[in-house]
Chain A
Amino acid sequence: MTPAHFAFSSTFTLGLMGLTFHRTHLLSALLCLEGMMLSLFIAFALWTLQLNSSSFSIAPMILLAFSACEASAGLGLLVATARTHGSDRMQNLNLLQC
Protein backbone atom coordinates (compact mmCIF):
# COMPACT_ATOMS: atom_id res chain seq x y z
CA MET A 1 0.00 0.00 0.00
CA THR A 2 1.49 3.28 -1.11
CA PRO A 3 0.74 6.67 0.48
CA ALA A 4 -1.55 7.68 -2.37
CA HIS A 5 -3.45 4.41 -1.98
CA PHE A 6 -3.70 5.04 1.75
CA ALA A 7 -4.89 8.61 1.12
CA PHE A 8 -7.80 7.82 -1.16
CA SER A 9 -8.92 4.72 0.70
CA SER A 10 -8.84 6.59 4.01
CA THR A 11 -10.76 9.51 2.52
CA PHE A 12 -13.41 7.07 1.29
CA THR A 13 -13.60 5.43 4.71
CA LEU A 14 -13.75 8.79 6.45
CA GLY A 15 -16.60 9.93 4.24
CA LEU A 16 -18.46 6.70 4.92
CA MET A 17 -17.96 7.01 8.68
CA GLY A 18 -18.99 10.64 8.64
CA LEU A 19 -22.12 9.72 6.71
CA THR A 20 -22.92 6.91 9.13
CA PHE A 21 -22.35 8.58 12.49
CA HIS A 22 -24.09 11.57 13.99
CA ARG A 23 -25.16 13.86 11.23
CA THR A 24 -27.22 16.83 12.28
CA HIS A 25 -27.88 18.44 8.91
CA LEU A 26 -28.98 16.76 5.71
CA LEU A 27 -26.54 18.98 3.86
CA SER A 28 -23.61 17.60 5.86
CA ALA A 29 -24.64 14.08 4.88
CA LEU A 30 -24.69 15.16 1.25
CA LEU A 31 -21.26 16.73 1.68
CA CYS A 32 -19.94 13.42 3.03
CA LEU A 33 -21.41 11.64 -0.01
CA GLU A 34 -19.67 14.15 -2.23
CA GLY A 35 -16.40 13.51 -0.46
CA MET A 36 -16.80 9.79 -1.10
CA MET A 37 -17.46 10.39 -4.79
CA LEU A 38 -14.46 12.70 -4.94
CA SER A 39 -12.17 10.07 -3.47
CA LEU A 40 -13.57 7.55 -5.97
CA PHE A 41 -12.83 9.96 -8.80
CA ILE A 42 -9.26 10.42 -7.60
CA ALA A 43 -8.86 6.66 -7.24
CA PHE A 44 -10.12 6.05 -10.78
CA ALA A 45 -7.89 8.77 -12.19
CA LEU A 46 -4.84 7.44 -10.36
CA TRP A 47 -5.66 3.95 -11.61
CA THR A 48 -5.75 5.26 -15.17
CA LEU A 49 -2.49 7.11 -14.77
CA GLN A 50 -0.87 4.12 -13.10
CA LEU A 51 -1.89 1.60 -15.73
CA ASN A 52 -1.02 4.06 -18.48
CA SER A 53 -4.11 2.99 -20.34
CA SER A 54 -5.57 5.92 -22.19
CA SER A 55 -8.92 4.42 -22.98
CA PHE A 56 -9.76 3.85 -19.33
CA SER A 57 -9.74 7.59 -18.68
CA ILE A 58 -13.34 7.62 -19.87
CA ALA A 59 -14.33 6.06 -16.56
CA PRO A 60 -13.56 9.02 -14.26
CA MET A 61 -15.50 11.35 -16.53
CA ILE A 62 -18.55 9.08 -16.48
CA LEU A 63 -18.22 8.76 -12.71
CA LEU A 64 -18.12 12.55 -12.44
CA ALA A 65 -21.27 12.85 -14.56
CA PHE A 66 -23.13 10.36 -12.38
CA SER A 67 -21.93 12.06 -9.21
CA ALA A 68 -23.36 15.29 -10.62
CA CYS A 69 -26.68 13.43 -11.00
CA GLU A 70 -26.48 12.23 -7.41
CA ALA A 71 -25.60 15.64 -6.06
CA SER A 72 -28.43 17.37 -7.88
CA ALA A 73 -31.00 14.79 -6.77
CA GLY A 74 -29.78 15.13 -3.17
CA LEU A 75 -29.97 18.90 -3.32
CA GLY A 76 -33.46 18.67 -4.76
CA LEU A 77 -34.42 16.51 -1.77
CA LEU A 78 -32.80 19.11 0.49
CA VAL A 79 -34.87 21.91 -1.01
CA ALA A 80 -38.03 19.82 -0.75
CA THR A 81 -37.41 19.00 2.94
CA ALA A 82 -36.52 22.58 3.71
CA ARG A 83 -39.85 23.62 2.25
CA THR A 84 -42.00 20.99 3.92
CA HIS A 85 -40.25 20.77 7.30
CA GLY A 86 -38.87 24.26 7.68
CA SER A 87 -35.26 23.24 8.21
CA ASP A 88 -32.92 20.50 7.09
CA ARG A 89 -32.19 18.98 10.48
CA MET A 90 -32.21 15.20 10.45
CA GLN A 91 -34.31 15.02 13.62
CA ASN A 92 -37.11 16.72 11.76
CA LEU A 93 -37.34 13.80 9.39
CA ASN A 94 -38.48 11.56 12.24
CA LEU A 95 -41.68 13.48 12.52
CA LEU A 96 -44.56 11.85 10.74
CA GLN A 97 -46.41 15.08 10.17
CA CYS A 98 -45.63 18.68 10.91
Chain B
Amino acid sequence: MSYTMALLLMGMVGGLVGVASNPSPYFGALGLVLVSGTGCGVLAGYHGGFLSLVLFLIYLGGMLVVFAYSAALAAEPFPEGWLSWTVAMTASSYLVGLSICWWGFFGHTDLRLGEGQVMGGWGDSSQLRGETGGVGHMYSSGGGGVVTCAGGLLLTLFVVLELTRGLARGTIRSV
Protein backbone atom coordinates (compact mmCIF):
# COMPACT_ATOMS: atom_id res chain seq x y z
CA MET B 1 0.00 0.00 0.00
CA SER B 2 1.53 3.26 -1.05
CA TYR B 3 2.10 6.08 1.34
CA THR B 4 -0.13 8.40 -0.66
CA MET B 5 -3.09 6.08 -0.27
CA ALA B 6 -2.41 5.69 3.44
CA LEU B 7 -2.26 9.46 3.77
CA LEU B 8 -5.56 9.86 1.91
CA LEU B 9 -7.31 7.26 4.05
CA MET B 10 -5.98 8.89 7.21
CA GLY B 11 -7.21 12.25 5.95
CA MET B 12 -10.66 10.74 5.41
CA VAL B 13 -10.90 9.36 8.93
CA GLY B 14 -9.33 12.46 10.47
CA GLY B 15 -11.73 14.75 8.64
CA LEU B 16 -14.71 12.82 9.93
CA VAL B 17 -13.26 12.96 13.45
CA GLY B 18 -13.21 16.70 12.93
CA VAL B 19 -16.88 16.66 11.90
CA ALA B 20 -18.01 14.31 14.65
CA SER B 21 -16.27 16.09 17.50
CA ASN B 22 -18.96 18.76 17.53
CA PRO B 23 -17.26 22.00 16.58
CA SER B 24 -19.15 24.99 15.20
CA PRO B 25 -20.81 24.36 11.83
CA TYR B 26 -18.20 26.40 9.96
CA PHE B 27 -15.46 24.03 11.03
CA GLY B 28 -17.70 21.03 10.53
CA ALA B 29 -18.23 22.03 6.92
CA LEU B 30 -14.47 22.45 6.57
CA GLY B 31 -13.97 18.91 7.89
CA LEU B 32 -16.52 17.62 5.39
CA VAL B 33 -14.60 19.36 2.60
CA LEU B 34 -11.50 17.51 3.77
CA VAL B 35 -13.36 14.18 3.83
CA SER B 36 -14.79 14.62 0.35
CA GLY B 37 -11.50 15.79 -1.11
CA THR B 38 -9.53 12.88 0.29
CA GLY B 39 -12.33 10.46 -0.62
CA CYS B 40 -12.09 11.74 -4.18
CA GLY B 41 -8.37 11.01 -4.06
CA VAL B 42 -9.02 7.51 -2.70
CA LEU B 43 -11.42 6.72 -5.53
CA ALA B 44 -8.96 8.08 -8.08
CA GLY B 45 -6.28 5.91 -6.53
CA TYR B 46 -8.39 2.80 -7.05
CA HIS B 47 -8.78 3.64 -10.76
CA GLY B 48 -12.26 5.07 -10.35
CA GLY B 49 -11.60 8.29 -12.18
CA PHE B 50 -15.13 8.99 -13.31
CA LEU B 51 -16.73 8.31 -9.95
CA SER B 52 -14.18 10.50 -8.21
CA LEU B 53 -14.94 13.28 -10.69
CA VAL B 54 -18.66 12.90 -10.01
CA LEU B 55 -17.99 13.01 -6.29
CA PHE B 56 -15.85 16.10 -6.61
CA LEU B 57 -18.21 18.02 -8.86
CA ILE B 58 -21.54 17.13 -7.29
CA TYR B 59 -20.46 17.02 -3.69
CA LEU B 60 -18.10 19.95 -3.47
CA GLY B 61 -19.83 21.96 -6.15
CA GLY B 62 -23.43 21.39 -5.24
CA MET B 63 -23.95 20.35 -1.69
CA LEU B 64 -21.18 22.07 0.20
CA VAL B 65 -22.01 25.43 -1.29
CA VAL B 66 -25.52 25.03 0.09
CA PHE B 67 -24.09 23.92 3.43
CA ALA B 68 -21.73 26.89 3.55
CA TYR B 69 -24.66 29.16 2.81
CA SER B 70 -26.74 27.57 5.54
CA ALA B 71 -23.88 28.01 8.00
CA ALA B 72 -24.74 31.69 7.86
CA LEU B 73 -28.11 30.85 9.44
CA ALA B 74 -26.37 29.09 12.29
CA ALA B 75 -23.96 31.93 12.85
CA GLU B 76 -22.81 32.63 16.36
CA PRO B 77 -20.53 35.33 17.70
CA PHE B 78 -17.92 33.04 19.27
CA PRO B 79 -17.49 29.92 17.16
CA GLU B 80 -15.86 26.90 18.72
CA GLY B 81 -12.89 25.60 16.79
CA TRP B 82 -11.08 22.34 17.29
CA LEU B 83 -8.84 23.95 19.88
CA SER B 84 -11.74 24.46 22.24
CA TRP B 85 -11.62 22.28 25.33
CA THR B 86 -14.72 20.13 24.89
CA VAL B 87 -14.18 19.70 21.16
CA ALA B 88 -10.57 18.69 21.68
CA MET B 89 -11.57 16.23 24.40
CA THR B 90 -14.23 14.65 22.16
CA ALA B 91 -11.87 14.47 19.19
CA SER B 92 -9.10 12.90 21.25
CA SER B 93 -11.46 10.31 22.70
CA TYR B 94 -12.60 9.41 19.17
CA LEU B 95 -8.97 9.17 18.08
CA VAL B 96 -8.14 6.88 21.00
CA GLY B 97 -11.09 4.64 20.14
CA LEU B 98 -10.05 4.56 16.50
CA SER B 99 -6.48 3.64 17.30
CA ILE B 100 -7.68 0.86 19.60
CA CYS B 101 -9.84 -0.51 16.78
CA TRP B 102 -6.97 -0.16 14.32
CA TRP B 103 -4.60 -1.99 16.65
CA GLY B 104 -7.16 -4.71 17.25
CA PHE B 105 -7.66 -5.28 13.54
CA PHE B 106 -4.16 -4.79 12.24
CA GLY B 107 -1.90 -5.30 15.23
CA HIS B 108 -0.70 -8.70 14.13
CA THR B 109 -0.85 -8.50 10.35
CA ASP B 110 1.58 -7.28 7.77
CA LEU B 111 0.17 -4.27 5.99
CA ARG B 112 2.27 -4.47 2.85
CA LEU B 113 -0.35 -5.80 0.52
CA GLY B 114 0.83 -7.53 -2.60
CA GLU B 115 -0.05 -6.66 -6.12
CA GLY B 116 -3.60 -7.35 -7.12
CA GLN B 117 -4.68 -8.13 -3.62
CA VAL B 118 -7.95 -6.89 -2.21
CA MET B 119 -8.10 -3.13 -2.57
CA GLY B 120 -4.38 -2.61 -2.43
CA GLY B 121 -2.20 -0.18 -4.29
CA TRP B 122 -2.31 2.19 -7.16
CA GLY B 123 -1.04 -0.01 -9.95
CA ASP B 124 -0.80 1.61 -13.33
CA SER B 125 -3.48 4.19 -13.62
CA SER B 126 -3.41 4.59 -17.37
CA GLN B 127 -6.00 1.96 -18.12
CA LEU B 128 -9.61 3.02 -18.29
CA ARG B 129 -11.88 0.82 -16.26
CA GLY B 130 -15.41 -0.16 -17.11
CA GLU B 131 -17.03 2.14 -14.58
CA THR B 132 -17.27 5.02 -17.00
CA GLY B 133 -19.28 2.87 -19.34
CA GLY B 134 -21.17 1.41 -16.40
CA VAL B 135 -22.55 4.82 -15.53
CA GLY B 136 -23.71 4.98 -19.11
CA HIS B 137 -25.84 1.92 -18.44
CA MET B 138 -27.88 4.17 -16.21
CA TYR B 139 -29.36 5.81 -19.24
CA SER B 140 -30.24 2.67 -21.15
CA SER B 141 -31.03 -0.37 -19.05
CA GLY B 142 -31.15 1.49 -15.76
CA GLY B 143 -33.73 3.95 -16.96
CA GLY B 144 -36.13 3.08 -14.18
CA GLY B 145 -33.58 4.11 -11.61
CA VAL B 146 -33.07 7.45 -13.29
CA VAL B 147 -36.80 8.05 -13.47
CA THR B 148 -37.13 7.15 -9.78
CA CYS B 149 -34.29 9.51 -8.86
CA ALA B 150 -35.78 12.32 -10.90
CA GLY B 151 -39.14 11.74 -9.25
CA GLY B 152 -37.51 11.82 -5.83
CA LEU B 153 -35.72 15.06 -6.62
CA LEU B 154 -38.93 16.61 -7.91
CA LEU B 155 -40.73 15.51 -4.75
CA THR B 156 -37.92 17.05 -2.69
CA LEU B 157 -38.40 20.34 -4.49
CA PHE B 158 -42.02 20.47 -3.35
CA VAL B 159 -41.05 19.31 0.15
CA VAL B 160 -38.57 22.18 0.48
CA LEU B 161 -41.07 24.66 -0.93
CA GLU B 162 -43.69 23.54 1.58
CA LEU B 163 -41.22 23.63 4.47
CA THR B 164 -39.95 27.12 3.85
CA ARG B 165 -43.21 28.76 2.84
CA GLY B 166 -44.10 31.83 4.82
CA LEU B 167 -47.38 33.55 5.66
CA ALA B 168 -48.35 30.99 8.33
CA ARG B 169 -49.27 28.45 5.72
CA GLY B 170 -46.12 26.35 5.70
CA THR B 171 -45.63 23.00 7.34
CA ILE B 172 -43.75 24.19 10.40
CA ARG B 173 -45.54 27.30 11.59
CA SER B 174 -45.82 27.37 15.31
CA VAL B 175 -46.05 31.14 15.40
Contact = CB atoms under 8 A, between A and B. Distances in A.
Interface in B86-145: 90, 94, 98, 101-102, 105-106, 111, 113, 118-120, 129-131, 133-135, 137-138, 141-142, 145
A39 to B, nearest CB: 7
Contact of A45 (B51, B98, B156, B173): B51
Nearest to A88: B74
Interface residues on B, range: 35 or more
Q: Give the dominant DSSP class at A's interface.
A: helix
B42 A4 contact: yes
Nearest to B118: A2
B54 A54 contact: no
Given A4-B5, A19-B20, 17 more contacts: A6-B9, A7-B12, A14-B94, A17-B20, A28-B24, A31-B28, A42-B55, A49-B48, A50-B119, A54-B129, A54-B130, A54-B134, A71-B66, A72-B156, A78-B70, A80-B171, A88-B73
Interface of A: 1-8, 10-11, 14-15, 17-19, 21-28, 30-32, 34-35, 38-39, 41-42, 45-46, 48-50, 52-58, 60-62, 64-66, 68-69, 71-73, 75-84, 87-88, 97-98
Interface of B: 1, 5-6, 9-10, 12-13, 16-17, 19-25, 28-29, 31-32, 35-36, 39, 42-43, 46-48, 51-52, 54-55, 58-59, 62-63, 66-67, 70-71, 73-74, 90, 94, 98, 101-102, 105-106, 111, 113, 118-120, 129-131, 133-135, 137-138, 141-142, 145, 148-149, 152-153, 155-156, 159-160, 163-164, 166, 170-175
